[in-house]
Amino acid sequence: MKFIILFFIHLTFLSCTKFGRTHTAKGRVMNPITGEGIPDVEMKLLKSTLGLPGGKKSVKEATSNSDGFFEISKSGLNVYYLQCNTSADYYELGWFENGQQISTAATDFKLKMGKTLHADFYAVPYGQLHWHIQNVNCEGSTDTMWYKIKYQYDSDFLSLWSFPIDGCADIIGNGSDKMEMGNHIIYMKIKRPSGTIYKYDTVFVNENGVTNFDLLY
- Residue 133's pLDDT is 97
Cβ burial, residue 159 (10 Å; 0-12/13-18/19+)? exposed
Averaged pLDDT of the chain: 87
Q: What domains are there in the chain, each with its CATH number?
A: 2-118 (2.60.40), 127-216 (2.60.40)
**What is the dihedral sign for C-alpha 169, 173, 179, 184?**
positive
Residue range 101-128: mean pLDDT, rounded: 90
Q: How confident is the model at residue 106 (pLDDT cuts 50, 70, 90)?
A: confident
pLDDT of residue 112: 85
Prediction pTM value: 0.81
